[in-house]
């Protein structure tokens, strides 16, 4: 898998990209899919809100949006993350920022792997998977 991090936000760089990339590969492997090209774009609340409105027709703020470009069983896509929203959520849920950013990245990739959180069962499954991969990321 080629995972690239892009920054559309000033004064922010992810310091733990090696560990995160390792877990992203694990997520794809566990889903029995092949690895492809994943672009992770760190951006602002305003920019992600604009993307949400323009491409999804949703007029609200969110922490992550994933665009799936999969080909067959090869995972390809873009994951847009609002660093502003992740910071707010970390404070709201009283968790470290580094944990929340990892969780949101993993959440985006789970969507690219075909997981859905539109109903309670899907939300529960994705949340449990996020926690498993988050724990693994700290075991590395």
The answer to whether residue 1 scores a pLDDT higher than 90 is: no
Residue 133's domain comprises: 2-139
Q: What pLDDT score does 11 carry?
A: 87
> pLDDT digit string (tens) for 28-83?
999 999 999 999 999 999 999 999 999 999 999 999 999 999 999 999 999 999 99
Domain count, the chain: 1
What is the band of 10 on the pLDDT scale with cuts at 50, 70, 90? confident
Q: What pLDDT score does 15 carry?
A: 87
What does the alpha-carbon distance between residue 125 and residue 1 come to, in Å, rounded to a whole number?
A: 24
Residue 43 maps to which CATH number?
Answer: 3.40.390.30
Alpha-carbon separation of residue 91 from 78, 100, 138 (angstroms): 26, 10, 20
């Amino acid at each position: 898998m080629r995972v690239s991090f892009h920054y559309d936000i000033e004064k922010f760089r992810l310091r733990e990209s090696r560990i995160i990339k390792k877990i992203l590969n694990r997520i794809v492997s566990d889903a029995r899919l092949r690895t492809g090209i994943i672009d992770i774009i760190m951006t602002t609340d305003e920019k992600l809100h604009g993307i949400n409105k323009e491409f999804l027709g949703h007029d609200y703020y969110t922490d992550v949006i994933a665009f799936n470009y999969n080909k067959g069983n090869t995972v390809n896509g873009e994951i847009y993350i609002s660093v502003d929203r992740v910071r707010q959520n970390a404070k709201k849920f009283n968790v470290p920022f580094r944990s929340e950013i990892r969780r949101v990245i993993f959440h985006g990739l789970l969507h690219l792997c075909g997981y859905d959180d539109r109903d309670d069962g899907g939300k529960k499954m994705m949340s449990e998977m996020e926690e498993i991969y988050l724990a693994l990321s700290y075991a590395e």
